[in-house]
Structure 1
Amino acid sequence: MKGLAGKWFGTGCLWIALVASSAAKAVKVDSLAALAEAAARNERQIEMVPGVYRMADYLTDEVLKGVRDEVGPIKGRPPVPMFVFRGDKNRIDLRGVTIEIDTTLYTKLPQGGYTRCLIVAGAGNTIDGLTIRNTGPNRGSGGNILSVQGDDNTLENVTLHVFGSQPWGYGDLLGKGGPNLVALEKQSGVQVIGSRSLLRHCRVFSRAFGHCFYIQGGEGSRLEDCYAEASVRSTTDMLADTAGPAFKLGFRSVYKNRDGRFIITPGYTKSLSEDGFRTYGNAGSVTLLNCTAINTRAGFEIGVRDDSETKTVVENCVARGCERGFLIGSQTIVRRSRGDVAHGPLLYLRGGHSSEVELELIGDPPRSLVHVLATIAGEGHKVRLSAQRGFGKLPALPILVGFGMPMHAEMASEPLPAPALDIDFESSIDFAPVIVGDEIAGSTIKTSGRRVADADLRKDPGPWGLPSDGIAPGGSGKDSAPR
């Protein structure tokens, strides 16, 4: 992919200003074509004239031919870029620069690959101050806006305003990759696959169905003071639609609700995007420090491999208004972090082993239907849950120990019992009862609130004095008196 930018730049003005200093000469550019040419070289200090630059002006027939030639016949799902930072060890000053990407441009690229609008393919680069925003109709590329592919790259003060995906307005209720009830055009924000990537003060404002930040490869990446924000919609509002994909489907869903039906269920709130911060098993160790997720599906979903020799660290992070604040598996350390239950649980510790979780409950009572504060399963985890001081009255949402997350983490589905072995659990949230499942062994459970066995809550309280069909007899008199 580094060679991709080396063969084509298009036409544009490249003008060089020599800066009298002991530092490297600064290259000033005033077009995307000039930026592509300068950023294909190494060890440059590059400054771009502030302003708004349209990707449509850069993607000339010549540039598009270069993309097609370099990508070649589509096999598998190769990356397909609009723009590539190819060089190494460049410092690229893009403060005051906005790049507009019209969503109609997606169809001009080779189809069938993985669209990555901008790719940082080189190594050891620093990019500071860029803003990218989508314009055009509401459609997605199936890929992402910005991909950090090379190693040892730094992004600082980069802001994305992501817009455009289909369908829009239902979150993942109609599918998220398979099975799907409709064709998907997703659109994600920042992808990280290079080792030792560093993102500081980066922000993604998503109005599209896709992840904000997601780390899929590399080792030792770090995100500091980054911010992810999405939007939400109630399922009750969705059910009021009189047109659109959900209406046409009879409000079917890919998820089974607690009645056993695959339909959209009223009362819940869904994020219209995917996760704020997501790591995958191939990402190696990742550090997330001082990061915030607002109104995303999962604020922080951490997918470390069970056999990982290193841990991912989530420290001093905040999840507000998410469907689930923190979704954690194996080999993860969550320190001094916090979240609310406005739209969903604070924590799903879905299984795995050897994680340490320290979370504080903050915020207001639920704004829609929330069933639990947390579910905890797995082996060898250490969990500490607390609530902020002066916390107002909240409903007694239970903490389920010995239960996994609901299927696909969908709130309308029921959490099922799951093994919890050698768990060290402590809760100082006195208004949240701890319900202990039957599949617990070797665990220590401490709580300042109530503790009750799940089996006790499932005992039949006694007969109602009704016939076997459960229907009260008709007629009048004391035999028909209401109970």
Structure 2
Amino acid sequence: MKRNIILKLIVLATCITTSLSAQIKVNSISELLPYLDDDHVSVKLKPGVYSIKAEDVAKGLYQKEVKLKNTSKVLLLFEGNHSTYDFTGVTINIDTKVLQAFGKYQVHELQIIGNNNVLKNLTMVDDGSVHDAPTRRATNIVMDGKNNRIEGFHVTTKGSYPYGYGDAFGKGGKVVIPHRKHSACLIRGESNHLKDSKFIHKSYGHCIFMQAASNPIIDGCYVEGEVRKTDDMLKETSGPAFDVDFMTVWGYKLPKGYMLSTGEAGIRAYNAGETIIDGKEYRRGTSNPTILNCTIKFMRTGVTIAHARGKKYVEGCVAMGCENGFSLGSGDAVNCSADCSYGPVYSTTYENDRNYNADITILPASHPYYNGSGSVAYIGGSGHNITLRGTDEVIEKGLAIKVGGDKNNIRLLNGNFPHQNDFKGGSFQIKNLTNYPIFLSAKSNHVAGESIGEISDLGTNNNIKKINRHEK
């Protein structure tokens, strides 16, 4: 008798487990919505093209909100735990007019606040004009909660104001032209993971950025933005920049000779933010980010995580056609690469940057040089160990690896933001295995190492040995 009861219990448990793990197939977004707050479900949306329009919002179909410091309206809010959502073959077109449909609220197109969820293989497209800005601001994806993974997404971001000038007319509190940003992916929470996803970024805002994120991982992602010459901006005969006579937020007229990204950072970390985990709100910075095998093109920066705390690790990443390739502050950039066609492959963020280890291969430019700063790399601070590699290709005249001194960055001209410029640099090791020259400014000291490129030394107690390529 007891044996039969045990067998029945085993069969019942097996049935329950099978029931919980069985995939649920839904045929529309309206059928999907009731499952977004469920635990332990596996849901697959039927392959096809779906649309979310402003009139859907007006009908009350999307009224979810998340209340933190700033309340957000959310189209697709994933509140459950231990669930999987398969969007293979699914495209969701989101009308850019939706970004204005909620009034003055910020809009999140997709947000996770549960734990241990997997969302995979969704194509999200902002359908409309690049100038269809949100009423306030917008983000395609927001990851809160803990141990969530987004994998295999393809996201096209559009709709911001002003678009086409980068941050020349403002990005934070002080602005010349009031702006309404639209970023692609915000990672917050605990141990969340963005994997193998592609972002086509045609918006003023960050592509992938981290706030209040602990132990985030960004792995195998591709980011592609757009760039414009300042010369071309200055040719405009109408529009928001023309209306302010091209007077930048930096206090001077937009200069010629630079390339600006129309977006912001490719991958960026902040030292503040808010998140929600298990229903509790946390306010904190970003800590221990890991960035692996990502490619970033045509953004203001490739990977900038100087403002994160703890262990910062970047490996196998490529930055092409960015205004700046990598800025870590401290930490490791291992087996990375970048070109210097529009700006330096590496730049020190603050003069007190300490102890970063960088191994970066300088790639030949795949497009004409337009590097207004003249920097291959800019190095300040101390305690670093830097290796710059490169091939025997003809170098671009006028570009140099700079240690300390003037960055000649477009945002730092005429004495603007002096705390971000004209750094001291010293007491570190550098190995320049490229033909690019090293320029040691008068603010350099106790820099040691070796260089294939020529060495100009205006500093004190520097000891860089000139070597031939076969000696490396």
Equivalent residue number for residue 61 of structure 1: 59
Counterpart residue number, 1:133 = 125
Alpha-carbon contact 2:111-2:143 (below 8 Å) kept:
yes
Report matched runs for 1:419-430 at 5 Å. Answer: 419-430=424-435
Q: CA deviation at 1:88?
A: 0.6
- Which has more strand, going by share of residues? 2
Q: CA deviation at 1:410?
A: 5.8
The structural deviation recorded for 1:406 is 5.3
- 1:251 CA displacement: 1.4
Correspondence 1:283 to 2:273 = no
Equivalent in 155, 170, 174 of residue 175 of structure 1 = 170
Q: Kindly indicate whether residue 346 of structure 2 is the aligned counterpart of residue 354 of structure 1.
A: no
Report the equivalent of 1:44: 41
The alignment partner of 1:116 has SS state of strand
Deviation of residue 140 (structure 1)? 2.6
> How far apart in 1 are the matches of 2:407 and 2:140?
31
Give 1:266 shift. Answer: 1.4
TM-score (norm 1): 0.81
Amino acid at match of 2:109: C
Q: Secondary structure at the match of 2:360?
A: strand
Cα deviation for residue 21 of structure 1 reads 6.5
| 1:235 alignment partner, one of 222, 230, 233 | 230
* Whole-angstrom CA distance in 2 between matches of 1:134 and 1:219: 29
Q: Which residue among 283, 288, 294 is the counterpart of 2:297?
A: 294
Q: Which residue of 1 aligns with 2:400?
A: 398
Mapping for residues 11-160 of structure 1, pairs under 5 Å: 24-56=21-53, 59=57, 61-64=59-62, 66-67=63-64, 71=67, 76-111=69-104, 113-137=105-129, 138-141=131-134, 142-160=137-155
1:200-252: CA deviations, max 9, x gaps?
A: 11011011111111111222111111000011111111111111111111111
Q: Specify the SS of the correspondent of 2:231.
A: helix
Q: Summarize the alignment of residues 400-415 of structure 1 with structure 2, pairs less than 5 Å apart.
A: 400-403=402-405, 405=407
For 1:422, what is the secondary structure of its paired residue?
A: strand
- Partners of 1:381 and 1:408 lie apart in 2 by 26
Contact 1:48 1:97 (8 Å CA) reproduced: yes
1:467 aligned residue: none
Q: Which ranges of structure 2 fall in alignment gaps of 5 or more residues?
A: 1-14, 272-284, 461-472
Q: For residues 118 and 186 of structure 1, what CA distance do their matches in structure 2 show?
A: 17
Q: Does 1:216 align with 2:198?
A: no
How many percent of aligned residue pairs carry the same amino acid?
25
Question: Could you tell me whether the CA contact under 8 Å between 1:376 and 1:404 is conserved in 2?
Answer: no
Superposition map of 1:455-470 within 5 A: none
Q: Which residue of 2 aligns with 1:337?
A: 336
Aligned pair in 2 of structure 1 residues 251, 408: CA closer, same or farther (>3 Å)? Answer: closer
1:374 to 377, 380, 391: 377
Q: Is the 8 A contact 2:443 2:459 kept in 1?
A: no
- Tell me, in whole angstroms, the C-alpha distance in 1 between the residues paired with 2:199 and 2:375: 29
1:322-333 aligned at under 5 Å gives the runs 322-330=322-330, 332-333=331-332
Task: Specify the code of the residue in structure 1 equivalent to 2:364.
Answer: G
- Counterpart CA distance in 1 for 2:321 and 2:100 is 34
Contact 1:353 1:380 in 2 (8 A): yes
Q: Secondary structure of the residue that 1:349 maps to in structure 2? A: coil
Preserved contact between residue 349 and residue 405 of structure 1 (Cα < 8 Å): no
User: 1:123-181: per-residue Cα shift (whole Å, max 9, x none)?
Assistant: 10111110111113422331311101111011111011111111111111111123211
SS at match of 2:132: coil
Change (3 A) 1:455 1:116: same
Assess, with a 3 A threshold, how the Cα gap between structure 1 residues 43 and 76 changes in structure 2: closer, same or farther. Answer: closer
Gaps of 5+ in 1: 1-17, 257-261, 457-483
Give per-residue Cα distances to partners, 1:109-133, cap 9 Å, x unaligned: 252x432221011110111110111
Cα distance in structure 2, aligned partners of 1:411 and 1:369: 15
User: Once the two structures are superposed, what CA deviation does each residue of 1:263-287 show, in whole Å capped at 9, x if it has no partner?
Assistant: 1111221111111111122221111
Contact 1:212-1:228 at 8 Å conserved across structures: yes
8 A Cα contact 1:321 1:343, kept in partner: yes
3-state SS in 2 of match to 1:233: strand
Aligned length: 422
**Aligned letter for 1:381?**
H
Contact 1:132–1:159 under 8 Å retained in 2: yes
AA in 2 matched with 1:242? T
2:37 maps to amino acid: A
CA distance in 2, matches of 1:268, 1:424: 30
SS of aligned partner of 2:33 = helix
Equivalents in 2 of 1:144, 1:58: separation in Å? 19
SS of the equivalent of 1:242 reads: coil
Tell me the equivalent position of 1:315.
Answer: 315
